[in-house]
Amino acid sequence: MKKVVQVVLIGGMIFLFSEFRPADKKWEKPFSKLDREIRKNSQAYATLGEATKTIGHRLTGSANGERAEEYAFKLLKGYGFTDVVYQPFEVEAWMRDTVTLSIAPGSSDNFRDVPVVSLAHSPVESNLQGEIVDVGNGLEEDFQAMKEKVKGKIAMANINLVGVTGKKNLHRSEKTALAIKYGARGVIMVNGAPGKILLTGTASVTGAIISIPAVCISNESGQEIRKWIKDEGPLEAHIDMHNISKPIRARNVIATLKGKSDEKVIIGGHLDSWDLATGAIDNGIGSFAVLDIARAFKALKVKPERTIQFVLFMGEEQGLLGSKHFVSELKKTGAIDKISYMMNLDMTNDPRGANAFGRDEMNGFFTTVGQAIHNIDREYKNESTNRAGLHSDHQPFMLEGVPIAGLSGHLDPNVLQCYHADCDDFSLVNKDQLENTVRIASMYLYALSNAENISVKKLSDQKTRDFLISQGLKEELIIGQEWRWEQ
């Protein structure tokens, strides 16, 4: 940024006013072209609507998942990409079958059924009866405080943090790992969304089948059970579940836009979804934004300095399976060292600013680019953040020291409460906000792929370790069995 000082004489007194303007206006012309192209011709909303209607959910390893892979492949081919490939990988895939949860006072056989869904990677067969022990928010300190009571019992924990401030929440899989660590025989998760909404998602930190059954109940059911415990004392829960686990093949879909150098910028989003609904928000709005950005770049005949790869990952919901495979293939060939940046769009909606993911050296770059975007679109806030996180397809790249970019956006509460739930359907998608994601992400991608110099580089193994510690991610990675350094 260049500081501009304006001298103004008012009433015989001199006032100095300063403002910051981009030192280089080079972004505004290509950004204007992208802005016009996407406003006029975006297909993100239409193609996502068609996919949710004709395919349905996009569960990895299912027939629907295969159809989603083919749909994305054909779209990219239709947009003019000649270099579109499937990247197959084989995994042991989990699929739900049936589950029931019934609860009764400890001294009674009068069991009452409670609506429930299995959390992914629960055992294939489980028929368990045991006492419920409430561990509150399910953090390590909660399990530690209840360690004598929870062993051999069924732990019940909140998915969201309740009644505390200033603490960092854990992923449901990490809470399940703690339940196993402290000897629980099963776990019941209480959804944070109000009402009767049921949530699914993986309960495994590794993507492998876990040793205890894990289920989710609604917020309303959780309140009722806690009141029942308070009024009548200990409760017995009976979990009867049957699931399917089998080897399957899935495919990442990759389109390459060749640049002038072999350095690469990757923009990705996971195409797969859970099977309770159509996954329009998680992650239709992210993956179909990636597809539409690819369309716009082809339509404008963009010739980037760095090669761009548009990647639709499968298997994210079941443990980042597709992105882990993608990174492992890069490592085998040494191509990981050619990745300049990875941008991930996961439930990204109506962006307000960029997230530099803890790489302080990029704050100035993202602020400057954001100002150029604001000059094109005065509604864009350019409210940047700078904090790394886990549990999406950027994670395998970040653990190898690759710089990550994200976008900070906004989803209405009524949309967020349908996360991983049976209400995540196309009616939640806001057309204008989805197209905002396409426009803003395309401009940041253009800047990352065409900047003369990028001030951050891939971190060494030791510096990656130090970076993850500085971002407060060590504990989560240890629980998730992803910490490869000495503890």
Average pLDDT over residues 352-365: 96
CA distance 402 to 448: 14
Length of the chain: 487
Asked if residue 4 is part of any domain, the answer here is no
Amino acid identity for residue 392 in this structure: S
- Structure tokens that stand for 35 in this block: 């802005």
> CATH no. for residue 371?
3.40.630.10
Asked if residue 22 is part of any domain, the answer here is no
Amino acid identity for residue 294 in this structure: A
Strand 235-257 vs strand 125-134: parallel, antiparallel, or unpaired?
antiparallel
CA distance 220 to 421: 15
Instruction: Provide the 8-state DSSP code for 417.
Output: T
Instruction: Provide the 8-state DSSP code for 458.
Output: P
CA distance 163 to 149: 22
Amino acid identity for residue 199 in this structure: L
Asked if residue 367 is part of any domain, the answer here is yes
Q: How would you class 240 by CB atoms within 10 Å of its CB: exposed for 0-12, middle for 13-18, buried for 19 or more?
A: middle
CA distance 369 to 413: 29
Asked if residue 13 is part of any domain, the answer here is no
Asked if the model's pLDDT at residue 310 lies above 80, the reply is yes
CA distance 172 to 174: 5
Backbone φ and ψ of 157, nearest 5°: -140, 150
Among the listed residues 381, 387, 382, the one whose alpha carbon sits nearest the alpha carbon of residue 365: 382
Asked if the model's pLDDT at residue 10 lies above 90, the reply is no
Indicate if 287 and 241 belong to the same structural domain. no
Indicate if 444 and 381 belong to the same structural domain. yes
Mean pLDDT of the chain: 94
Indicate if 230 and 313 belong to the same structural domain. no
pLDDT in tens, 393-439: 999 999 999 999 999 999 999 999 999 999 999 999 999 999 999 99
pTM value surpassing 0.95:
no
Last residue of a domain, one of 216, 246, 276: 246
Asked if the model's pLDDT at residue 258 lies above 60, the reply is yes
E strands, 146-293, are 154-158, 186-190, 214-217, 235-257, 261-270
Last residue of a domain, one of 211, 246, 281: 246
| Alpha-helical regions (H) of 347-472 | 363-376, 395-398, 413-416, 431-450, 461-470
Average pLDDT over residues 358-384: 95
11 pLDDT tier (thresholds 50, 70, 90): very low
Asked if residue 457 is part of any domain, the answer here is yes
Indicate if 353 and 452 belong to the same structural domain. yes
Asked if the model's pLDDT at residue 5 lies above 50, the reply is no
Asked if the model's pLDDT at residue 323 lies above 90, the reply is yes
> CATH no. for residue 219?
3.50.30.30
Asked if the model's pLDDT at residue 390 lies above 90, the reply is yes
- Structure tokens that stand for 23 in this block: 């030192």
24 pLDDT tier (thresholds 50, 70, 90): low
Among the listed residues 115, 112, 94, 174, the one whose alpha carbon sits nearest the alpha carbon of residue 142: 174
Asked if residue 368 is part of any domain, the answer here is yes
pLDDT in tens, 36-79: 999 999 999 999 999 999 999 999 999 999 999 999 999 999 99
CA distance 157 to 179: 9
Indicate if 152 and 35 belong to the same structural domain. no
Average pLDDT over residues 99-116: 91
Instruction: Provide the 8-state DSSP code for 341.
Output: E
Indicate if 63 and 143 belong to the same structural domain. no
Q: Provide the pLDDT for residue 25.
A: 85
Indicate if 338 and 469 belong to the same structural domain. yes
Q: How would you class 370 by CB atoms within 10 Å of its CB: exposed for 0-12, middle for 13-18, buried for 19 or more?
A: buried
Indicate if 425 and 378 belong to the same structural domain. yes
Q: Provide the pLDDT for residue 109.
A: 80
Strand 2-10 vs strand 13-21: parallel, antiparallel, or unpaired?
antiparallel
Indicate if 336 and 376 belong to the same structural domain. yes
Instruction: Provide the 8-state DSSP code for 475.
Output: H
Indicate if 392 and 472 belong to the same structural domain. yes
Report percent pLDDT > 90 for the chain: 91
Asked if the model's pLDDT at residue 288 lies above 70, the reply is yes
More confident residue, 386 or 11: 386
Strand 353-355 vs strand 404-408: parallel, antiparallel, or unpaired?
antiparallel
Indicate if 140 and 116 belong to the same structural domain. yes
Report percent pLDDT > 70 for the chain: 95
| Alpha-helical regions (H) of 283-320 | 285-299
CA distance 175 to 163: 17
CA distance 461 to 467: 10
CA distance 424 to 422: 6
Asked if residue 5 is part of any domain, the answer here is no
CB distance 339 to 453 below 8 Å: no
Asked if residue 210 is part of any domain, the answer here is yes
Amino acid identity for residue 122 in this structure: S
Indicate if 312 and 457 belong to the same structural domain. yes
Task: Please report, for residues 102, 159, 166, 191, the alpha-carbon distance to residue 140 in angstroms, rounded to integers and kept in the order given.
Answer: 27, 14, 15, 19
Last residue of a domain, one of 203, 221, 246: 246
More confident residue, 14 or 364: 364
CA distance 309 to 305: 13
Q: Provide the pLDDT for residue 23.
A: 43
Q: Provide the pLDDT for residue 107.
A: 72
Average pLDDT over residues 201-220: 96
- Structure tokens that stand for 284 in this block: 């239709």
Element housing 310 (H / E):
strand 306-313
**Domain interval for residue 307:** 28-83+258-479
pLDDT in tens, 144-164: 999 999 999 999 999 999 999
Asked if the model's pLDDT at residue 481 lies above 90, the reply is yes
User: How many structural domains is the chain composed of?
Assistant: 2
Task: Specify which residues 355 forms β-bridges with.
Answer: 385, 406
- Structure tokens that stand for 470 in this block: 């500085």
